[in-house]
Amino acid sequence: MALEQNSILSHDEINHKIKRIAYQIYECNVDEKEVILAGIESNGYILAKKLKTALKKISNIEPLLCKVIIDKKNPLSEIKTSITPNDYTNKSIVLIDDVLNSGTTLVYGVKHFLNVPLKQFKTAVLVNRNHKKYPVKADFKGISLSTSLHEHIEIKLTGKVFEAVLK
C-alpha cells in the first residue's frame, strides 16, 4: 500500500511564510543591531539562511547565522554550534527548525543556549504539529497542524521548488 501524500504548503506559500516570520522577528527585535539566527542542522539551518535573506531586505538588523548540530536520535549528546558562546552572549537569539513535532529537538537546543546570559530567546518553525511532550512552543510559526502520530511531515527547502507534504 503506497503512502498517501498531501501538499501542506506550496513553494509560494513557503516563501510567504518565510517573509511573514522575518517580519515577526524584526518586530520583536526592532531596537537590536544584530540577531542570532540559530538553525538546527539540515532544514532548520536552510530555513535560517532564508530568514536571514528576508530579514536583510526589510530591516537594518544584521542577522548572524549559527548552525546548531544536534543528534536528533540522541539529543542528550553534545550539541555543537558554528559560533562560540561569546558570539551570542547578551544577544537576541531565534532558534529555528523546520517542524516542531514532540519538542525534543527544540527543548535541548534551548537548553544549550541557556549556559550564557541572553537578551532574548525565541523559537521559529515552518510547521507546528501540536504533538508536544515538552513545554516548548514556537514563538513564530508558518502553520499549525493537528496531525495523527502516524503521519509524517516532509519539508523540501532546496532546489527550485520548495514544498511541505504530509505523508
Q: Dump pLDDT digits (tens) for 16-42.
A: 999 999 999 999 999 999 999 999 999
Cβ atoms 106, 95 nearer than 8 A: yes
| Domain 12-166: assigned CATH number | 3.40.50.2020
What's this model's pTM, rounded to 2 decimal places? 0.91
- Strand, helix or coil for residue 78: coil
Cell of 100: 516542531
Report percent pLDDT > 70 for the chain: 97
Residue 86 predicted with pLDDT over 90? yes
Residue 71: C-alpha distances to residues 40, 80, 88, 121, 167 (Å) = 10, 10, 21, 22, 23
CB under 8 A, 24+ apart: contacts of 44-48: 44/68, 44/96, 44/97, 44/98, 45/96, 46/98, 46/157, 46/158, 47/18, 47/96, 47/97, 47/98, 47/124, 47/126, 47/157, 48/96
Q: What is the pLDDT of residue 1?
A: 40
Q: Which three cell numbers stand for residue 25?
A: 522577528
Cell numbers at residue 92, please?
537576541
